[in-house]
């Protein structure tokens, strides 16, 4: 009975983390679009840097409260992660301007990384469910499959850097036996500093506008409202970042990508509620249905024996490290 109760509690916490990530991800997109539409704030990379600054402040608070323990992360591992994460942000911002192929390539690349680096093997049912999800998302979102040279390069960088970043979130927690909050405490400060440095230059390259020349003082009322929107965007993004590390650390990058496409469906639904038929059409509805069927199928077959198995790839780190990781993850569950 006690073990059953613990399993139920863990399942409830896992579901809560997934839902929190989905809701905050959609929420931050809505707020960011409001910043763009109402105030013409087009500096996406700089805004992401502010998001990570807010996340850094939250990790400092969690450390003071005792939820983040002292731990070590090699500088080389930290540097690799920050590079992957920053290339992911910049690559996605650039890629989405030119084509919509990148979002469909994320799951296959994440699967490839797990197969090659973690020696993971997928059952036929798991592979088929992933294909169904990809088909549904393609029907929903892909309107132009033509890719020029610049678009291909941007999509290639975005897909591989994002896949590697999400893979490392799970890999580093297992390898170094640290929880999601501890890892976020290591990675957020250098990522925030680097994005605030690089962000204005990237935004100028993408938009031909300088963030320091933006009119922040429209009127006293408007500037206050603008500031509140920025604070709201940063606050929601903190929840997105924390829940992402918890979800990927608990599961894998592939599961995060597959079930994470629920965000795409919610974004399309919100677009329909706000914009009517312009936000969603019959093709979109059909794609949503197919994607949801694939997600349900994946959720059923992936946990089954043989559905998705790792063949002794990380056992070299020792069972004692796995025990410490479990203890560290318990701190995440308590928050």
Number of H helices, E strands in the chain: 12, 2
Q: What is the mean pLDDT of residues 37-49?
A: 87
Structure tokens at 5: 């109760």
7 within a domain of the structure (yes/no): no
Domain of 110 in residue numbering reads as 12-334
Q: Is residue 85 situated within a structural domain? A: yes
Binned at pLDDT 50, 70 and 90, residue 218 comes out as low
| 322, two tokens | 């796995």
- Most confident region among 2-16, 59-73, 155-169, 192-206 by mean pLDDT: 192-206
pLDDT at residue 211 tops 60: yes
Which pLDDT belongs to residue 326? Answer: 46
When comparing pLDDT for 72 and 11, which is higher?
72
Is 4 inside any structural domain?
no
Using the structure block, give the residue that is written with the tokens 């020696």: 119
Where is average pLDDT lowest: 125-129, 153-157, 171-175?
A: 153-157
Q: What is the pLDDT of residues 60-83, one digit of tens each?
A: 998 888 888 888 899 999 999 999
Mean pLDDT across the chain: 78
The average pLDDT across 225-245 equals: 90
Residue 142 has pLDDT above 50, yes or no: yes
301 within domain boundaries: yes
pLDDT higher for 116 or 84?
84
Q: Is 2 part of a structural domain of the chain?
A: no
C-alpha 230: how far from its chain's center? 20
What average pLDDT score do residues 154-170 get? 85
| pLDDT single digits (tens) 83-110 | 999 998 888 777 665 555 556 667 777 7
What does the DSSP 8-state code read for residue 309?
E
| Residue 6 belongs to a domain | no
CB 286 within 8 A of CB 322: no
**What's residue 179's pLDDT?**
85
pLDDT at 4: 66
> Does residue 17 belong to any structural domain of this protein?
yes
DSSP for 223-248, please give it: HHHHHHHHHHHHHHHHHHHHHHHHHH
Work out how many domains the chain is built from and give that number.
1
In a domain, 99, yes or no: yes
Confidence of residue 319 (pLDDT cuts 50, 70, 90): very low
87: helix, strand or coil: helix
Query: How much is the pTM?
Result: 0.75
């Amino acid at each position: 009975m006690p073990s059953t109760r613990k399993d139920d509690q863990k399942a409830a916490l896992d579901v809560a983390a997934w839902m929190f990530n989905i809701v905050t991800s959609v929420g931050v997109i809505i707020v960011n679009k409001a910043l763009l539409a109402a105030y013409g704030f087009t500096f996406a990379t700089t805004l992401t840097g502010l998001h990570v600054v807010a996340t850094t402040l939250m990790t400092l608070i969690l450390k003071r409260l005792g939820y983040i323990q002292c731990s070590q992360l090699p500088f080389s591992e930290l540097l690799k992660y920050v590079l992957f994460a920053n290339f992911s942000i910049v690559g996605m911002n650039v890629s989405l301007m030119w084509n919509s192929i990148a979002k469909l390539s994320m799951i296959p690349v994440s699967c490839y990384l797990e197969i090659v680096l973690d020696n993971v093997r997928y059952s036929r049912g798991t592979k088929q469910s992933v294909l169904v999800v990809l088909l549904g998302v393609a029907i929903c979102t892909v309107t132009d499959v033509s890719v020029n040279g610049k678009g291909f390069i941007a999509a290639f960088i975005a897909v591989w850097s994002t896949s590697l970043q999400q893979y490392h979130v799970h890999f580093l927690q297992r390898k170094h036996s640290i929880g999601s909050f501890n890892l976020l405490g290591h990675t957020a400060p250098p990522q925030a500093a680097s994005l605030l440095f690089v962000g204005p230059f990237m935004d100028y390259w993408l938009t031909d506008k300088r963030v320091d020349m933006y009119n922040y003082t429209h009127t006293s009322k408007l500037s206050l409202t603008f500031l509140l929107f920025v604070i709201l965007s940063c606050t929601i993004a903190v929840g997105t970042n924390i829940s992402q590390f918890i979800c990927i650390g608990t599961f894998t990058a592939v599961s995060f990508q597959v079930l994470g496409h629920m965000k795409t469906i919610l974004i399309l639904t919100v677009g329909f509620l706000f914009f009517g038929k312009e936000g969603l059409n019959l093709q979109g509805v059909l794609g949503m249905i197919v994607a949801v069927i694939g997600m349900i199928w994946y959720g059923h077959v992936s946990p089954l024996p043989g559905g998705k198995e790792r063949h002794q790839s990380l056992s070299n780190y020792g069972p004692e490290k796995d025990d410490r990781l479990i203890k560290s993850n318990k701190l995440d569950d308590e928050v």
